[in-house]
Chain A
Amino acid sequence: MIKENDYLNTIADQCLSKAKKLGSTEASVFVVNSVSENVNIRNRKLDGSTRSENLGITLTTYIGKKKSSISSSNLNEKNLDNLINRCVESTKITPEDELNSLADKELYFNGDKNLDLYDETILENKQKIDYINEAEEEAFSKKDIVNTNGSGFSQNKSNFVLANSNGFSDGYKTSQFTAYCEVVSKNNGSMERDYEYSSKRFYDDILKPKDLGAKAAELALQKLNPKKIKSEKLNIIFDKRIAKSFLSAFSSAISSSAIARGTTFLKDKLNKKIFNDKINIQDKGDIKKANGSRYFDSEGVKIKPLDLVKNGDLKDFLIDTYNGKKIKLQSNGRSSGSTNLYFLNGSVSFKELLCSGKRILYVNETIGRGSNLITGDYSVGASGLMIENGEFSYPVSEITIAGNLNDIFKNISLANDLEFNYSTNSPTMLVEGMIVGGK
């Protein structure tokens, strides 16, 4: 069982009072406990099970404008005393930075916690095994599914307390249930793999096992006997699971640390058009049961809902306290990054998007790092399917796609099929005029 708040609070209080006694003028501490249980299967047989239990603290101490941190999983009192001592001693010799401070008191979260982020359900290992077996069973019922890279189910529960010397002290439990299935297809000497996964805070919300297995099989089968196409300029449709990666790049590029350091291609773009007029992006932490929801960030600051992009214009950044001061903007509770980040729906259906041209490349897998956030240059390896006259025609692999995010952002059209499956979500996305590297 995971530890209750009382237990975590006691540790947090001890750390704060010890740090104060040793001479720190301000301090903040994060105490976290998590228990996760995973099962893995392969070819419908148990492959392994893992139980993980973690308890740890991270303490930051300040002396005036000097700052240093320690973290540890060894909470025995003597060890903790030594570490806190070390932390305060390091603080003394670390140079001052006038921007170092805890977050402003007025910004701390003190609302109701009603977002349903914790599911009490506890599954026995047998239930987890049965669930994921059923998924693989379904995948193996399809012709040409010959092997598996392993499938699994995990149940993760955690609780934490964040406390600081300004009087903030709060924490809450969260849960996460994840099922994944990865299978191998083979036909005419061609071997391919693909996967499907589903991860939700509530057990009842994850994809049903048959659907999970069927989807993994469908994707792996689709890829068999791919062709390599010639190098050319093409319109590309990105499957939702890839389209969301453009949002991840966007969110990194508008973090206040990147803006303050000047290391982003979106540095001077506030209130300027960076997408076309039809694109809107929001980041909301208060969606019930959603994977990215939280009440406050790692500094205790409440999460403000943000309209990041409105009608194509960049309207806000993701701001923490330190970097906020640097760019003279108040924290909006994003020291832990984005929350539930998503494009609002576009106006056309998935089918209409497929029919928007004679020959369109549908990309449902990319490999490689992709984006250079300083220049906006984008280049990845890709595979997918060719769409001809609105119909999927043949699989394509071993190609690259490249462009620059400045142009890509302006050439996006979105379908109206947004779902909240991840913490970052996009409808299916069409990008016009990207360069495909092939034969």
Chain B
Amino acid sequence: MSNLLKNTSLSVNTADKIISDTLHKCDDGELYLEDTKFETVTLDDNKIKSSDYNTDTGYGFRAVTDDVIAYSHSNEISEESLKKSSENLKSTLKSKSGTYNSSIKKTNQKFYKDTDPIETKSLDSKIELLNLMNDYSRSKDASVKQVSASFIGEKKSIEILRSGGELLQDTRPLVRINISMMVEKDGRKETAVFGVGGRQSYDEYLKDDSWKKLCDEAFRIATTNLKSKPSPAGEMKVVLGPGWPAILIHEAIGHGLEGDFNRKKTSAFHNLVGQRVASEGVTIIDDGTLDNRRGSLNIDDEGTPTEKTVLIENGILKNFMQDRLNARLMNTKSTGNGRRENYKHIVLPRMRNTIMLNGNHTQEEMINSVNKGIFAVSFGGGQVDITSGKFVFNCTEAYEIIDGKIGAPLKGATLIGDGPSSLKEVLMVGNDMMLDPGIGTCGKAGQGVPVGVGQPSLLIDNMTVGGTEL
């Protein structure tokens, strides 16, 4: 029973008719309906800067034949609008003919509750807590000159209506609590950002005054950076800390293993299935099934149940991440990685929670083994060129390693590497796997989707560090 058509002038029967009429000669397609509620409450510069509430409702109508995608979306859910979209799709695909594949696996799997984070915590109590975070942060030390804190919450309901009357539904809560801080001492300024989140109500992240830990962590990073010195430039050994630094894997390896780039043969990995792409002991999965994680989904945005997909097993490339279109064209099955930012966008194969599994080394062993290198604990963000395989990321917390010991903190260095070769340079995999705090958003083709990452500590033999000290 469709909930999202209930308050519109479009009846389920009429919608079904238009869908079947449009898609019967196509290979695939669906009507995707979405209703999103979104809020941000922000404190900045000692004041509540905004309390914004947004609702967005709309549909995206997709028809796919062969490798051609026709897409039309609108926020007017009506028979007239849908018919106009239908004509548009038909005209794009008029010279093509396909066979509709109606099989889609059903699931009852649930990795998060059907909760509405915006309504389960009052605006009053959000404002009160933001003020507490501000006061607490500023009282820590006179060097704290600026504090921003925010609650960002969302409830997204989606429905997928396929030709033949099949209906798939999901309701996805998502929250994020953020704090950023600027400290100033002796004429130097530094900032730090810290946050936490996932697919649960805010209060799950606020038990036992744990918001204080967010403030403490932002303060720790910012004050550490006050003492930072210029980063060296050149090739050296790099130890990555556990958790969030796994965006290295996301950028260096993850994007290159998405189905579209491999079907189109523009990924540096497209002909490497079954071959060694990482050192022995390196196993990487993409998992949509972790409870309450930011990158988890019950079903993907095409209705395929998500799963735990093994990408690299003990160094050997096993699988790509697939949506329905790329899977069909590559004669394989969708892995439940078909995602879109919202109804305004087409589906692309995207990561969920991308994780490197544990090895058997300790972080201490890694650091002790390095004569000259850097220890990277946290990153701001990264980017990759899929075709050449080159990727970068910016350190927000890093230290020099000298003679097996952690030394001074280093100023914002950039690390650059080559995706296909970097994981072959992994010398040790740690035994301290950690997931990130739930803050990642991945951008691709102008679409942002929430993702997770995780990894143990890693020792990489050789990466280029971009600093100012020669």
What residues of chain A have their CB less than 8 Å away from a CB belonging to chain B? Answer: 42, 45-56, 67-74, 76, 78-79, 83, 86-87, 90, 93-95, 97, 125, 147, 149-150, 184, 191-193, 223, 228, 230-233, 260-263, 367-369, 372, 374-375, 377, 379-381, 383, 397-404, 435-439
CA distance A367 to B393 in the complex (A): 9
Q: Is the CB of B387 within 8 A of A438?
A: no
Instruction: Provide the main secondary structure of the chain B interface.
Output: strand
For the complex, give the distance between the alpha carbons of A397 and B392 in Å. Answer: 12
- Identify the closest chain A residue to B48 (Cβ): A95
Q: Are A56 and B146 closer than 8 Å at their CB atoms? A: no
Q: Mark B402-443, 1 if CB is under 8 A from A, else 0.
A: 000000000111101110000000000000000000000000
Closest B residue by C-beta to A126: B91
Q: How far is the CA of A183 from the CA of B127 in the complex (A)?
A: 50
Determine whether the beta carbon of A381 is less than 8 Å from that of B54: no
A379-B413, A437-B467 given; A402·B233 CB < 8 A: yes
Quick one: which of A70, A72, A261 contacts B45, CB cutoff 8 A? Answer: A261
Give which listed residue, A49, A72, A231, A375, contacts B234 with CB less than 8 A. Answer: A231
Q: Which residues of B contact A (CB under 8 A)?
A: 7, 44-45, 47-58, 67-76, 81, 85, 88, 91-92, 123-124, 127, 145-146, 182, 188-191, 231, 233-235, 264-266, 268, 344, 346, 380-388, 390-394, 411-414, 416-418, 464-470
**Given that A83-B53, A125-B92 are contacting pairs, would A435 and B146 also be in contact in the complex, using a CB cutoff of 8 Å?**
no
C-alpha gap A94/B412 in the complex (Å): 37
Q: Decide: B346 and A50 in contact? CB cutoff 8 A.
A: yes
A-B contact count (CB 8 A): 239
A contact residues around B231 at 8 Å (CB): 379, 402
Chain A residue with the shortest CB-CB distance to B70: A49
Closest to B74 in A: A53
With the chains together, A276 CA to B68 CA distance in Å?
53
A71 to B52, CA, bound (A): 8
Closest to A190 in B: B388
> Please, how many angstroms separate the alpha-carbon atoms of A397 and B389 in the complex?
11
Whether A437 pairs with B464 at a CB distance below 8 angstroms is yes
Query: Are A51 and B71 neighbours in the complex by a CB distance under 8 Å?
Result: yes
A72 adjacent to B56 (CB under 8 Å): yes
Check if B467 sits within 8 Å of A191, measured CB to CB. no
Q: How far is the CB of A43 from chain B (nearest CB, A)?
A: 9
Pairwise interchain contact A69-B392, C-beta atoms closer than 8 A: no
Most chain-A Cβ atoms within 10 A of its Cβ — which of B47, B124, B190? B47
CA distance A409 to B175 in the complex (A): 40
Set of chain A residues within 8 Å of B91, measured between Cβ atoms = 125
Give bound CA distance, A379 to B415, whole Å.
Answer: 9
**Interfacial chain A residues near B346, Cβ < 8 Å:** 48, 50
**Are B392 and A368 closer than 8 Å at their CB atoms?**
yes
In the assembled complex, the Cα of A49 lies from the Cα of B65 at a distance in Å of 12
Contact A53–B191 (Cβ < 8 Å): no
Return the chain B residue nearest A95 by Cβ: B48
Q: Which of B45, B411, B470 meets A231, CB within 8 Å? A: B470
Q: In the assembly, what is the distance between CA of A261 and CA of B268, in Å?
A: 44
State the CA gap A86–B54 with chains docked (Å). Answer: 11
Q: Which residues of B contact A53 (CB under 8 A)?
A: 73-76, 81
Q: Are B92 and A46 in contact (CB under 8 A)?
A: yes
Closest 5 CB pairs of A and B: A400-B466, A381-B392, A437-B233, A48-B69, A193-B387
Nearest-neighbor residue (CB-CB) of A228 within chain B: B464
- Whether A403 pairs with B392 at a CB distance below 8 angstroms is no
Q: Which residue of B lies closest to A372 (CB)?
A: B412
Given contacts A374-B190, A381-B414, contact A439 B234 (CB under 8 A): yes
| Residues of chain A within 8 A of B344, CB atoms compared | 52, 54
B385 closest partner in A (C-beta):
A367
Name the residue in B54, B233, B384, B464 with the highest tally of chain A Cβ atoms < 10 Å from its Cβ.
Answer: B233
